[in-house]
Structure 1
Amino acid sequence: MTGEISLIQKLDAFIRRHHRTKVLRGLLLSFVTLSVGALLFVLLEGVGRFGVAGRTVLFYTFAAVAAVVLATQVLWPLAQWARLSQGLSHDEAARIVGNHFPEVKDKLLNTLQLQRQVDNAQGADVTLLAASIDQRTASLRPLPFTSAVDVSGAVRMLRWATPVAALVVAGVWMQPDWVTAPAARIVQHRTEFIEPAPFDFVLVNDRLEVPAGDAFVVIVETKGDELPASVTLESGNGRFRMERVKPHVFRHTFPAVRNNIDFQFLANGWRSVNHTLRPFAVPTLANLRVQATPPSYTGLPSVDARNQGDVTVPEGTPIQWTMQVHDTDSLRFAWNDEWLQTTRITGNTFSAHAVATTNSTYWITPINDQLTGDSLRHRIRVVRDGKPSIRVEESKDSTSRKKMHFTGSVQDDYGFSRLAFVWEVVERGAGPSEELLAAGGGTPSLTKGRVELEVPQGRRGTFYHMWDVRELAWREGDVFEAWFEVWDNDAVHGAKKVRSTTTRLEAPSAGDLREERVNAAESIEENLQDAAQEAAELREAMEAMQERLREQGEMTWQDRQAMESLLEQQKALQEKLEEMKRDNAKKDERANEFSEQE
């Protein structure tokens, strides 16, 4: 059995070398076939410059041929060599070896067949057969079975592969573009390649991006040996003749770009590569709402301005901005010389807060990752709470020197918190006069005073005040000053006070009193003289009427009319006397305010 094992091993070595030789031959055959096919396809593409469809056919045809050749000539023999599939059997190997060595012919095959008979014999005596097999094996063992492998096919393929390889190397070395460019177009068969023109379309624009909705000007320059006189731009909207800016430079304007635009340049039958103009989102402020709540003391209504950023508010007013944006990642809010913090309420809504204390300017700038939007500038006009104003008119009482009447009006931006009447003694006399002392006057008990008045409601108001100074003990030479004070309701800086004009009141001297009494007496005497004269005239008229009636004996209609006229004159005289009496009493009372009777 040792000889059998040795014979089988020699056949196995023959089989392995046989399949190895087939793999080498398949590799060489595949190289020659695929190289020639590739050169043929490259030549076809180089001459024909097929479109996408033609290059796709070439690509998949070459891929199919390559797959078939590699599968049948390389992969299958390789699998047989690795014993992954059924290869050359021992009997087939024996026949090939027998044909190669004529001296053994069928002896090797017969020996293998006898060995199978011995292996299949069950209980029979096979001693003689085994001896014959050993003898045959011994005679076959010296033969070199591996030399029976036919390598002529591999050598022939090597002769073919060598010039093919030389041709490929020479082509790639000497004219690489002739090989690599068509090959690249076949490999990238889905990509559209433009045949090189005798000139180049050079896009001047650095970036084909534009803010959405904006116009975009595309500029192209032609460079080369044969330059076209005009250039046409072709897009999905049609063809447009480009405007010539200067020699060999042309431009075209895309208005309001909102979607991607694919376009090419055409000139003299040549077409450029495809370009795409892409719009990008622009951060914008869509809606602006300004809400201002004036301080409560102003009584002003709240301000709610929409899409109107300029507002006028009182000083100290809190303001809230609500801003709706589009395509915005963040919002920059510049308030005078500082940055105001903004808060995102929802995905596209921001808010900001501030208190208006002075006239202010602010800018709102929307921002995204591609662009900073336009800055919108607005103003906040702040109205400061001004001082209140007061106007007072005074009038003296005709019946009393110790009464002063004041009528006034006040005005303020928003209202008042306090109104007061103030007086004080600013000068002292040397001492009480005899007449004042006789009237019971002494040293004044008060030197100043303040009277709180009712506060007017609203922004404007009027007031009335009567100052009765009878409680003050005047003396000759004393001087009083009086005025009004009003405060506004400013809750930001505190109430502001304004003072009215000052009224000056001087106590009468003894001479003034005497002169006034003299004037009053003279006025009374004059009025009495006028009344006495009117009474005498009326008496004479009435006596004449009585005398005429006695003479006539009866009263005519004219007499009745004359009598009624005299009675009316008498009644008017009586009323005049009563009026004189009252007027004289007032004058006497005024003249004697500081007399002992008071």
Structure 2
Amino acid sequence: MNNYDWLVSRLDAFIRKYYTNKVIRGTLIFLSCALAYILTMSIGEYYLYLPATVKISLISLFVLLGGTALVSLIILPLTKVARLGRIITHEQASLIIGKHFPEISDKLLNILQLRKQADSNGSSRDLIAASIDQKASQISVIPITAAVDFRKNRKYLRYLVPILILGIVILVFSPSIFIDASERLLQPSRSFVKPAPFRFNILSKPLQVVRNGDFTLKVSVDGNTLPADMAVEMGDDRVTMQMLSKTTFQYTFRNITEPVKFRLFAGGYYSEDYTIRVAQKPVLKSFKMVLDYPAYTGKKDETRNSLSDISVPAGTVIRWAFKAEHTDMAWIRFGSTAGVPLSGSNMQFAHQARVMVDTSYVIGLMNKASGVKDNYAYQIQVVPDQHPVLQVQQFRDSVTGKQILLTGNAGDDYGLTRVLFHYEVTNDKNQRISAKAVPLKSGGGTLTTFQHYVDVDQFKLAPGHKLSFFIEAWDNDGVTGSKASRSDVMSFTMFNANQLDSAINANADQINSGLSNSSKQTKQMQSELREMQSKLLQSDQPSWEQQESLREMAEKQIELQKNLENIKKRFEEQVQQSEQKQYSDDIKEKQDELKKQMDNLLNNELKEQMKKLQELMAKMNKENAVQTMKQLEQENKLFNMDLERMKELM
């Protein structure tokens, strides 16, 4: 290596040291400024609780200036040390060295200039090279790298060290300054407030309201010192809250449509910032309910476009279909059972159920994002299919009771399928002999009338046998199955020998009793007629009292006729009962004689007396009245004698 090459290597070493010095100086300056800035920001935030805008501005400025300083003071010089990018030339380096070593300033620059001449002038290259080598040897003893003195950077330590010591002292004795400040500075968009001697407690949680709704904010405070009042601050507006107690305050936000940011102010202190979120309430927009009634009811299916309580027949299939807004989930719950999630898409949901008993149901909607729910509760009244209603009357002949007419009507809420006549014949040991159900003609529909004639003789009952019968009506229930209603069981019993004798004797007793009463009535009427004759003979004309007496006598005559008619019915029944036994011809002739006598009394004698009484009441003059009363008295005597003869025949 010649002297020139050695000189060039020394210049390169100088350049590296030159940029290394820049890195050291830039690092000291950068650290001093950065630590001072950080320390100032931390102390300021810790004590002043800087607003979010100030924090953002300070941090932005720190990043901008710090980044610029870091690049220009440290990163760029480091790249120059690595000879990356553009660095100073040897000539520029010689000028810098010449300022530190003036005695070699011209020589060093002259050597570099001669080197350029040698490269461009080939004829005198050797002569120039010898001159360069001579001059380079003269300055080789000079430590040109000493032109850069690292010790000069000590002056920057006077700024860095105090700041560093102050930071260490704070970190040791009051670390909360850095901890709390850094925690708040790392959240520049959030405003922190200076802690109050009391604590704000939000009681109304969550801070969420349905759009267009009202939100009542309740706040309590606790601590050693309590504020006398409290206000809500929204932007530039401050509204005083209502005091509910010494520690509780309230304020209502009206008709909230957008999120509301606010903070609380009390006793000169602010709370942290709060936001009331606006939630979308799930809304039922349209609704359709299809009522599919059981076919057997004959009711036409219905579609209803509104929610309401409903009343439907048992077995009705109900189909719900509705569209909602702001709804992520829907369900339906019947009674106390668990809710059933509803399937759907595009906020359209559907469900169907068959109802058999009364129940309540709730349709629920939910917005998952806000957690807001809404419920719609209604009642379903299920009308069960009723049993058929049956009304039956029986009419029997008054003599034997063997001719029976059954009439009545049957009805059902939705329709009848059939009406049946059931009968059963049993013996004296209650053992069934025969039984059958006979369909009756009916008009069908929901209401029908019927009648059925029963002739007991057709069943050929033996003594002691019993005929039991009833009417049965069936409905058309297509859900739980057809149901029936029955009338009361009616019966006819054929007497046995002992019962027949008892019945004949009982009838005979009643006939004798009836004849005795009729005889007493006729004797009383004879007495009354004699008395009326006596009074009428003593007066000029019939009085009002006498006329009333005649009317009463006419009523007694009618009553006598009814008694005789009943006696005749009993007698005819006795004759029917007698036919079941073998009697002698004399007894049968006596019965025929009694029948003729009774017919004569009812059809001839009694009618004649009634006619004369009516004439007497119509004319009512003295001569005719007395004559007619005598005739009536005589006829009454004959009538009574006939009754006595009948009693003897019995």
- TM-score (normalizing by structure 2): 0.65
User: Partner of 2:17: helix, strand, or coil?
Assistant: helix
CA distance in 2, matches of 1:144, 1:182: 51
Q: Aligned partner of 2:246: which letter? A: P
CA distance in 2, matches of 1:532, 1:279: 104
CA distance in 2, matches of 1:346, 1:216: 36
For 1:486, the equivalent position in structure 2 comes to: 473
For 2:147, the equivalent position in structure 1 comes to: 148
Map of 1:271-286 to 2, 5 A cutoff?
Answer: 271-282=270-281
Task: Tell me the CA shift for residue 192 of structure 1.
Answer: 4.3
Comparing 145-154 with 63-72, greater Cα deviation is found at 63-72
Map of 1:120-199 to 2, 5 A cutoff?
Answer: 120-122=120-122, 124-151=123-150, 153-170=152-169, 173-174=172-173, 191-194=190-193, 196=194, 199=197
CA distance in 2, matches of 1:152, 1:470: 151
Q: Aligned partner of 1:199: which letter? A: P
For 2:20, the equivalent position in structure 1 comes to: 20
Structure with greater helix share of residues: 2
Q: Call closer, same or farther: CA 1:214–1:352 in 2, change over 3 Å.
A: farther
CA distance in 2, matches of 1:39, 1:420: 108
Q: Call closer, same or farther: CA 1:520–1:279 in 2, change over 3 Å.
A: farther
Is the Cα–Cα contact under 8 Å of residues 204 and 217 in structure 2 kept in the other structure? no
For 1:459, the equivalent position in structure 2 comes to: 446
Structure 1 stretches lacking a partner, 5+ long: 429-445, 538-598
Is the Cα–Cα contact under 8 Å of residues 419 and 440 in structure 2 kept in the other structure? yes
Task: Tell me the CA shift for residue 14 of structure 1.
Answer: 1.5
Q: Call closer, same or farther: CA 1:60–1:491 in 2, change over 3 Å.
A: closer
CA distance in 1, matches of 2:110, 2:49: 64
For 2:203, the equivalent position in structure 1 comes to: 205
Q: Aligned partner of 2:413: which letter? A: D
User: Partner of 1:9: helix, strand, or coil?
Assistant: helix
Q: Call closer, same or farther: CA 1:13–1:187 in 2, change over 3 Å.
A: same
User: Partner of 1:218: helix, strand, or coil?
Assistant: strand
Q: Call closer, same or farther: CA 1:223–1:128 in 2, change over 3 Å.
A: same
Q: Call closer, same or farther: CA 1:310–1:126 in 2, change over 3 Å.
A: closer
CA distance in 1, matches of 2:244, 2:471: 81
CA distance in 1, matches of 2:45, 2:423: 116
For 1:112, the equivalent position in structure 2 comes to: 112
Q: Aligned partner of 1:502: which letter? A: M
- TM-score (normalizing by structure 1): 0.69
Alpha-carbon displacement from aligned partner over 1:382-417 (angstroms, at most 9, x marks no partner): 343343232222335699987543321113333211
For 2:243, the equivalent position in structure 1 comes to: 244
Task: Tell me the CA shift for residue 241 of structure 1.
Answer: 2.8
Is the Cα–Cα contact under 8 Å of residues 210 and 257 in structure 1 kept in the other structure? no
Is the Cα–Cα contact under 8 Å of residues 388 and 410 in structure 2 kept in the other structure? yes
Q: Aligned partner of 1:412: which letter? A: D
Task: Tell me the CA shift for residue 219 of structure 1.
Answer: 1.0
User: Partner of 1:494: helix, strand, or coil?
Assistant: coil
Alpha-carbon displacement from aligned partner over 1:183-228 (angstroms, at most 9, x marks no partner): 888887665454x376345124374424523643321315355x43
CA distance in 1, matches of 2:230, 2:598: 117
Is the Cα–Cα contact under 8 Å of residues 422 and 449 in structure 1 kept in the other structure? yes
Is the Cα–Cα contact under 8 Å of residues 204 and 218 in structure 2 kept in the other structure? no
Map of 1:534-573 to 2, 5 A cutoff?
Answer: none
For 1:261, the equivalent position in structure 2 comes to: 260
Comparing 177-186 with 72-81, greater Cα deviation is found at 177-186
Is the Cα–Cα contact under 8 Å of residues 421 and 482 in structure 1 kept in the other structure? yes
For 1:343, the equivalent position in structure 2 comes to: 342
Is the Cα–Cα contact under 8 Å of residues 361 and 378 in structure 2 kept in the other structure? yes
Q: Call closer, same or farther: CA 1:516–1:158 in 2, change over 3 Å.
A: farther
For 1:406, the equivalent position in structure 2 comes to: 406
For 1:511, the equivalent position in structure 2 comes to: 579
Task: Tell me the CA shift for residue 12 of structure 1.
Answer: 0.9
Task: Tell me the CA shift for residue 230 of structure 1.
Answer: 1.5
Task: Tell me the CA shift for residue 427 of structure 1.
Answer: 4.7
Alpha-carbon displacement from aligned partner over 1:545-568 (angstroms, at most 9, x marks no partner): xxxxxxxxxxxxxxxxxxxxxxxx
Alpha-carbon displacement from aligned partner over 1:301-322 (angstroms, at most 9, x marks no partner): 5465666564433333333344
User: Partner of 1:265: helix, strand, or coil?
Assistant: strand
Alpha-carbon displacement from aligned partner over 1:290-335 (angstroms, at most 9, x marks no partner): 5443322233454656665644333333333445555443344343
CA distance in 2, matches of 1:64, 1:480: 118
Residue 385 in structure 1 maps to residue 385 in structure 2:
yes
Structure 2 stretches lacking a partner, 5+ long: 496-575, 582-587, 613-650
Task: Tell me the CA shift for residue 119 of structure 1.
Answer: 1.1
CA distance in 1, matches of 2:434, 2:181: 119
Task: Tell me the CA shift for residue 120 of structure 1.
Answer: 0.9
CA distance in 2, matches of 1:4, 1:289: 104
- Superposed CA RMSD in Å reads 4.6
Identity of paired residues, percent? 27
Is the Cα–Cα contact under 8 Å of residues 315 and 358 in structure 1 kept in the other structure? yes
Alpha-carbon displacement from aligned partner over 1:18-61 (angstroms, at most 9, x marks no partner): 22112212322333455556667778889988766666665566
User: Partner of 1:418: helix, strand, or coil?
Assistant: strand
For 2:220, the equivalent position in structure 1 comes to: 220
Q: Aligned partner of 1:218: which letter? A: K
